[in-house]
Chains A and B, each alone.
Chain A
Amino acid sequence: MKPKISLLTAAWLVLRKDWMIEWRTRARLTALIFFSLSTLLLFSFAMGPDINALRAHAAGYLWLALFFASVLSLGESFRVEGENQALLGLVLTPVEARAIFLGKVFGNASLLFGLSLVLLPVAVALYDIDLAKAPLALLATLFLGSVGISAPGIVYSAISSNARARDVMLPLLLFPVLVPLLLATVNATKFCLGPDPQEQLASWLKLLCAFDLIYLSLGFLVFPKVVEED
């Protein structure tokens, strides 16, 4: 029997495996970038050329583009595990299923975070926003938001990956749960980009942290039941 490794080491190995799969093809990241770029463009076409309106709603467009992209990314995350029953192999290794959850969540979160970094300069060009007001808080918002999408997203992606009509199922299950996250991320981003006279940024960031912690712990608890079959 193989020696038992700690939860975090195992999570790190799963994360590295996901990164490696991603790096070898780079297909998912490329698809995500072009998909979300066209989403951002579509928003500006739909709203018309009024730059003030675009600037005012830039945070919302940015996060909606990330939300839509996250559905593709999360779905793909378990589609690759479906090939050759890779997920079964992963579950059969002597590590906890929770390590798979943590690895997958942070694998997806890092992908979405990277995507958001690519989208920021595009948003500057399209919506004329100013990133220099609170850059660190903006990065924190993007990271916490990416984790917040991924934590419930991985659980729902795992359960919907074997349902009929899984492409419909994932957003149907995921988006309602993400509404508080959407409100928090959009508002936090808005205050990072524009004036914050009542200093509300900190309270939205706290809400984001709370959302992440709640869904990371709930996912951590229920994920083994989703992937392990008796």
Chain B
Amino acid sequence: MPKWAPLISLVLVIALMIVHAASASARAWVWKVLAGFGAIGVVVVVYFGLFFAPREAYMSDVGRIIYVHIPFVWMCMVGFTVNVVCAVGYLFKANWKLDALAEASAEVGIFFGACGVTMGSIWARPTWGVWWDWDPRLISTTVMLLVYVGYLAFRSFTEDPDRRAAWSAAGVILGYVTLPITWFSVQWWNSLHQRQSDSQTVDPAMRVGYLFSTVAFLALFFVFVFKRYEISRSRQSSALELPPLQAPAVKPEVSA
């Protein structure tokens, strides 16, 4: 895979996202382009990861998981970060769009996080010999996902839209603390899970692969969030609009 592929595709994907946000008329087709790029990108990455990428020095073929595992968890964290930014924004200025985006990004984030954890578990079986280990990184990731599941459960259990938006925003700001704990857990504690890689520890050929994969996942993530956001918006509009005035179906008969 060429060295410039991740950067060029990242620039293109971000440009498309900006076009999408800025122009209402482009919104009808931009997401389709991003979805197509994401889908093709994931296929390319899977093919590259399985057949072209060099073997991992210690883990051999099992190490090929990095091309999907890392992007999944990164997108989960991007989702939760978008969510908390929307939550803080909502507390400053109540805006239904922020509330819808917060809900969408949390739900998509949970999906990506759950996929990442499941893959990690499959990887752990041949590598560590167990499906699950009580390791700081695994615990903190699970706790983080549980916080957001609680957030969505809370939202579905509160009827009043104003209160739901304000309270879930306040609650999720407290819950976001679990994300930095998850990120730094491998550095703070002696974790079985490896630390974050950098350019010194990863072969350039592998690095290009998972960076490109991240861009493809970002495109898919954006499409998922956008579609989920539209659902939230239409639910909001049906919840917020007043019930239609009912015309009397039958004229009351006047008795003589």
Chain A residues with a Cβ closer than 8 Å to the other chain, count: 26
Query: Is A106 an interface residue when CB atoms closer than 8 A count as contact?
Result: no
Chain B residues with a Cβ closer than 8 Å to the other chain, count: 27
Interface string of B146-165 (1 = CB under 8 A from A): 11001101100111001100
Dominant secondary structure at the B interface: helix
Chain A residues positioned under 8 Å from B146 (CB to CB): 176
> How far is B175's CA from A163's CA once the two chains are assembled, in angstroms?
18
Among residues of B, the one whose C-beta sits closest to the C-beta of A179 is B143
- Interface-side segment among A82-90, A190-198, A217-225: A217-225
The 3 closest A-B pairs by CB, nearest first: A159-B167, A176-B146, A222-B170
Q: Which of B146, B154, B169 has the most CB atoms of chain A within a 10 A radius of its CB?
A: B154
> How far is B206's CA from A119's CA once the two chains are assembled, in angstroms?
56
> How far is B151's CA from A156's CA once the two chains are assembled, in angstroms?
11
Query: Is B231 an interface residue when CB atoms closer than 8 A count as contact?
Result: no
Q: What distance in Å separates the Cβ of B219 from its nearest Cβ neighbour in chain A?
A: 30
Whether B169 and A176, one on each chain, are in contact in the complex, defined by CB atoms closer than 8 angstroms, is: no
Interface string of A129-166 (1 = CB under 8 A from B): 00000000000000000000000100110011011110
Identify which of A152, A160, A221, A223 contacts B154 (C-beta below 8 A): A160
Whether A177 and B177, one on each chain, are in contact in the complex, defined by CB atoms closer than 8 angstroms, is: yes
Whether B150 and A152, one on each chain, are in contact in the complex, defined by CB atoms closer than 8 angstroms, is: no
Whether B169 and A177, one on each chain, are in contact in the complex, defined by CB atoms closer than 8 angstroms, is: no
Chain B residues positioned under 8 Å from A165 (CB to CB): 157
> How far is B175's CA from A180's CA once the two chains are assembled, in angstroms?
12
Chain B residues positioned under 8 Å from A223 (CB to CB): 170
> How far is B167's CA from A29's CA once the two chains are assembled, in angstroms?
28
Whether B158 and A176, one on each chain, are in contact in the complex, defined by CB atoms closer than 8 angstroms, is: no
Q: What distance in Å separates the Cβ of A151 from its nearest Cβ neighbour in chain B?
A: 9
Whether A156 and B171, one on each chain, are in contact in the complex, defined by CB atoms closer than 8 angstroms, is: yes
Query: Is B15 an interface residue when CB atoms closer than 8 A count as contact?
Result: no
Interface string of B229-240 (1 = CB under 8 A from A): 000000000000
Whether A225 and B174, one on each chain, are in contact in the complex, defined by CB atoms closer than 8 angstroms, is: no
Whether B170 and A162, one on each chain, are in contact in the complex, defined by CB atoms closer than 8 angstroms, is: no
Identify which of A162, A169, A177, A226 contacts B175 (C-beta below 8 A): A177
The B-contacting residues of A in range 94-123, CB under 8 angstroms, are none
Q: What distance in Å separates the Cβ of B164 from its nearest Cβ neighbour in chain A?
A: 9
Listed by A's residue number, 25 A-B pairs whose Cβ atoms lie within 8 Å are A155-B170, A155-B171, A155-B174, A159-B168, A162-B158, A163-B167, A165-B157, A172-B154, A173-B147, A173-B151, A173-B154, A173-B171, A176-B147, A179-B139, A180-B143, A214-B177, A218-B173, A218-B174, A221-B173, A222-B170, A222-B174, A225-B91, A225-B170, A229-B162, A229-B163
Chain A residues positioned under 8 Å from B157 (CB to CB): 163-165, 169
Whether A173 and B167, one on each chain, are in contact in the complex, defined by CB atoms closer than 8 angstroms, is: no
Assess A172 versus B159: contact at CB under 8 Å? Given A177-B177, A218-B174. Answer: no
Q: What distance in Å separates the Cβ of A172 from its nearest Cβ neighbour in chain B?
A: 5
Query: Is B178 an interface residue when CB atoms closer than 8 A count as contact?
Result: yes
